[in-house]
Amino acid sequence: MTHLSLTKHHGLGNDFLVVFHPHVADLAALARSLCDRRRGLGADGLLVGESAEGYAARMVLYNADGSRAEMSGNGIRCFAQALAGRRGDMLPQRILTDAGERLVSLEATADPTVIHAAVDMGEVTALAEPADWAALGCDPLRPVQHLSLGNPHSVVGVDDVAEVDLQSLGRVVPYVNLEIVQPGPEQHAITMRVHERGAGITEACGTGACASAWAARQWGFVAGEAEEILVHMDGGDAKVRLHHPSHGRVTLIGPAQYVATITVPANAAHGDG
């Protein structure tokens, strides 16, 4: 019987399964089967590692619903941890994603299951307003920015993230990552919650943290000279380093934690068993 060996990791509670060279024809179906939290292993997404000339690896991301996504800031840290385990080193990794090349620098911690990683996330760029945005009924006086980090984000400034029915709002615009953001509580910090495309509400979102930090500085939610913003999320904190006030190049800094190595029969992974 053929088996698949996977590892499970999480970045601030945003959890992923990682598999290298699975040789499975329908990866979307594999993601739906494995990520199911009641009938599968459970995860927000499946990260598939492939060979790519000139790169440490290529990372392909499938959301829990089987849709393919361009990039994940938490996911790439988890992928880098899994790749470091395969390679047996902590050297920097050039990883090819559907959003382009990303450079990941790794740092060991006192906990052998946890690494810290800094990811060059590229530039934050403006996007057009997504379809059905008006259906949200967003107060026109609220600050809003539609941004890309290789994947689409809509960031909304609010008074209190805990008071927003994020689940209902996220369902109105399911094809965008929706972040709600409030200032503080520290001077150079924001608090963010997220409804992710293809996964729903998650405990953290790395690309969303970057989009939110960028928008927050534009709105004055943090001091204008802030070069590093602490982003509080339900699953924990990440840091976003802002390199240029107008071009928007950012670095995401945060942990990845190894959870387990799991072997499953290939037919079970396909949902046949």
Task: Read off the pLDDT of each residue in 157-167 and give the average, rounded to a whole number.
Answer: 95
Q: Mutual orientation of helices 206-219 and 73-87 as an angle, nearest 10°?
A: 140
Which of the four pLDDT bands, split at 50, 70 and 90, describes residue 261? very high
pLDDT over 60 (residue 272): no
Cα 72 to Cα 11, 23, 135, distances in angstroms: 10, 23, 27
- Note the pLDDT of residue 249: 86
Residues 15 and 113 reside in one and the same domain: yes
Residue with tokens 């409804």: 195
Instruction: Give 64: exposed, middle or buried? Use CB within 10 Å, 0-12, 13-18, 19+.
Output: buried
Q: What is the pLDDT of residues 177-199, one digit of tens each?
A: 999 999 999 999 999 999 999 88
Residues 171 and 73 reside in one and the same domain: no
Q: What is the pLDDT of residues 217-235, one digit of tens each?
A: 999 999 777 789 999 999 9
- Note the pLDDT of residue 247: 61
Residues 135 and 179 reside in one and the same domain: yes
Residues 162 and 147 reside in one and the same domain: yes
Residues 90 and 177 reside in one and the same domain: no
Query: How far from each other are the two terminal CA atoms of the chain, in whole angstroms?
Result: 12
Structural element, H or E, at residue 190:
strand 189-196
Residues 143 and 90 reside in one and the same domain: no
Which of the four pLDDT bands, split at 50, 70 and 90, describes residue 1? low
Residues 130 and 173 reside in one and the same domain: yes
Q: Give the chain's domain count.
A: 2
Residues 148 and 240 reside in one and the same domain: yes
Q: Is the peptide bond before 183 cis (omega within 30 degrees of 0)?
A: no
**Structural domain of residue 130, as residue ranges?**
125-253
Query: Please, what sign has the CA dihedral across residues 78, 80, 82, 88?
Result: negative
Domain harbouring 228, CATH code: 3.10.310.10
19 close to 49: Cβ distance less than 8 angstroms: yes
Q: Which two tokens stand for residue 127?
A: 């996007």
Q: What is the pLDDT of residues 43-83, one digit of tens each?
A: 999 999 999 999 999 999 999 999 999 999 999 999 999 99
Reference 209, options 239, 168, 169, 249; nearest CA is 239
Residues 152 and 170 reside in one and the same domain: yes
pTM for the predicted model, two decimal places: 0.91
Up-side HSE of residue 2: CA atoms within 13 Å toward CB? 7
Which of the four pLDDT bands, split at 50, 70 and 90, describes residue 132? confident
Residues 106 and 139 reside in one and the same domain: no
50 close to 60: Cβ distance less than 8 angstroms: yes
pLDDT over 90 (residue 267): no
Residues 91 and 106 reside in one and the same domain: yes
- Note the pLDDT of residue 246: 56
- Note the pLDDT of residue 224: 72
Residues 59 and 144 reside in one and the same domain: no
